[in-house]
């Protein structure tokens, strides 16, 4: 139950309708109307999460007797004063809700936020306009025939193969996007309502790492796609090169996602670093680098993996600039060694209480460097000058 705010606790502003605390030690509520909407959002969480609560029987019987509780998009036939009070917060609540696909029977394919925390209707808008019903589930869509851009997406193909191969005893679930553990606190919803979602949850994650400030700022600008890649320069009409093709691989247009994740050189670096830092899969875009990839890291290796991710981004950017402005191409093996040395160079900046979480990664990186040094000595003793042989030997560093 919400405590009643007395006249001594609150000073009302007649012009704006805001309620600000008049005494120290209060709640910190800026807008009572938004706080009320956030508090009523708890009802939507109880309904969508699927668990029972005190007094749930009459509400479920009156409003969800003939339709599923997880579908928050269909309008209700009955609309009493209770339901009218809940509807103002429903649209914002749906935007903050993440769906975890299990068997795909309780997640709407087009409308729910299940694909990298986004609704697929925003990613494939033309395909969404052509559908007959937007209320189809993930299983219904992916087990059928995929047309248009849906059939070309690798992530959808992976989910489809999993749904086809499994029996379906793992149900879908709902998670709250504004908290790390996926639970619903009223405070998080209230903060989202008062700033209208302009507060970025990724920014503290990017800047909360013992790296130089310019590296953290670059990582944030790259996540926001504000760095001057060739596709951005071409769109602004100030590209000095006659093409937007990536100069590191010469196979596709240079964009943020391609340069740091989809370029063959970038994919090779992520593949080499995966066994060293114990992350199970490599990120494929900036959206899942600080999204699903970062969240799925184990607590023991989250610090080391997030630190090496910033090193990889920065070194790839330096190699790209060196190729464009100095006409110097750096091989994947040499770039891998530069990443290893920079990672060790940043280690002293880590607080001493966190150093134990980096012991395994430091040992693995040092083994790679020792292996490369021994390879150099062997080649020097045999008087080999073949650079290709050296790079071939250094290529095994990532497999230690």
Close Cβ partners of 296 (under 8 Å, ≥ 6 residues apart)? 280
pLDDT in tens, 187-231: 888 888 887 666 677 788 888 888 888 888 998 898 888 898 998
SS3 221: helix
Q: Residue 364: what pLDDT?
A: 87
Neighbours of 122 (CB within 10 A): 11
Q: Residue 391: what pLDDT?
A: 37
Q: How buried is residue 256: exposed, middle or buried, by Cβ count under 10 Å (0-12/13-18/19+)?
A: buried
| pTM for this model (two decimals) | 0.53
Q: Residue 151: what pLDDT?
A: 81
Tallying the residues shown for the chain, one arrives at 400
What are the tokens at 288? 């899942």
Q: What percent of the chain has pLDDT over 70?
A: 78
Q: Is the pLDDT of residue 260 over 90?
A: yes
Residue with tokens 């059939």: 151
Residue with tokens 């995929």: 146
The rounded mean pLDDT for the chain is 78
Neighbours of 46 (CB within 10 A): 19
**Mean pLDDT across 166-193:** 83
Q: Residue 17: what pLDDT?
A: 37
For residues 391 and 58, the model is more confident at 58
Q: What is the largest CA-CA distance in the chain?
A: 88
Q: Is the pLDDT of residue 317 over 80?
A: yes
Q: What's the pLDDT band for 372 if we cut at 50, 70, 90?
A: low
Q: What's the pLDDT band for 373 if we cut at 50, 70, 90?
A: low
CA angle 55, 61, 64 (to 5 degrees): 110
Give one DSSP letter per residue of 243-301, joined into a string: --B-TTTSSSB--HHIIIIISHHHHHHHHHHHHHHT-SS---SHHHHTTHHHHTS-TTT
Q: Residue 397: what pLDDT?
A: 39
Q: What's the pLDDT band for 13 if we cut at 50, 70, 90?
A: very low
Q: Residue 2: what pLDDT?
A: 41
For residues 344 and 391, the model is more confident at 344
Structural domain boundaries in the chain:
1-30, 35-74+85-194, 209-399
Q: What's the pLDDT band for 270 if we cut at 50, 70, 90?
A: very high
Q: Cβ distance 190 to 38 under 8 Å?
A: yes
DSSP one-letter code for 52? -
pLDDT in tens, 300-316: 888 888 899 999 999 99
Q: Cβ distance 194 to 31 under 8 Å?
A: yes
DSSP one-letter code for 54? T
Q: Cβ distance 311 to 339 under 8 Å?
A: yes
Q: Residue 55: what pLDDT?
A: 64
Distances from the Cα of 324 to the Cα of 214, 221, 229, 241, 261, angstroms? 21, 20, 11, 9, 19
What are the tokens at 267? 């994919």
């Amino acid at each position: 139950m919400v405590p009643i705010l007395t006249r001594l606790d609150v000073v009302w502003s007649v012009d704006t309708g805001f309620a600000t605390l008049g005494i120290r030690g209060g709640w910190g509520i800026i807008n009572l109307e938004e706080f009320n909407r956030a508090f009523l959002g708890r009802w939507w969480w109880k309904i969508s999460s699927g668990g029972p609560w005190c007094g749930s029987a009459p509400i479920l019987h009156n409003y969800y007797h003939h339709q599923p509780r997880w579908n928050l998009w269909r309008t209700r036939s009955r609309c009493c004063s209770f339901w009218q009070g809940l509807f103002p917060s429903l649209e914002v609540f749906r935007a903050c809700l993440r769906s975890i696909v299990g068997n795909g029977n309780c997640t709407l394919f087009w409308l729910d936020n299940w694909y990298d925390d986004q609704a697929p209707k925003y990613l494939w808008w033309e395909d969404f306009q052509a559908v007959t019903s937007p209320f189809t589930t993930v299983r219904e869509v992916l087990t059928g025939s995929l047309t248009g851009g849906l059939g070309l997406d690798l992530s959808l193909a992976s989910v489809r193969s999993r749904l086809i191969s499994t029996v379906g005893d793992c149900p879908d679930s709902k998670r709250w996007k504004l908290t790390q553990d996926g639970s619903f606190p009223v405070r998080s919803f209230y903060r989202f309502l008062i700033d209208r979602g302009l507060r970025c949850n990724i920014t503290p994650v990017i800047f909360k790492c013992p790296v130089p400030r310019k590296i953290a700022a670059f990582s944030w600008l790259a996540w926001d796609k504000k760095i001057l890649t060739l596709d951005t320069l071409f769109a602004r009409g100030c590209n000095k090169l006659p093409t937007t093709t990536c100069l590191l691989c010469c196979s596709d247009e240079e964009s943020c996602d391609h340069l740091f994740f989809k370029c063959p050189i970038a994919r090779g670096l992520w593949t080499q670093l995966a066994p060293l830092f114990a992350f199970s899969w490599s990120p494929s875009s900036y959206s899942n680098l600080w999204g699903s990839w970062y969240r799925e890291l184990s607590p023991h290796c989250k610090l080391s993996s997030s630190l090496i991710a910033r090193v990889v981004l920065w070194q790839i950017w330096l190699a790209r600039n060196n190729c464009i402005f100095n006409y110097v191409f750096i091989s994947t093996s040499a770039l891998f060694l530069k990443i290893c040395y920079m990672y060790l160079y940043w280690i002293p900046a880590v607080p001493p209480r966190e150093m134990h979480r980096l012991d395994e990664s430091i040992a693995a990186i040092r083994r790679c460097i020792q292996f490369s040094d021994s390879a150099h000595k062997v080649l020097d003793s045999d008087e080999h000058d073949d650079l290709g042989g050296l790079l071939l030997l250094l290529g095994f560093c990532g497999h230690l």
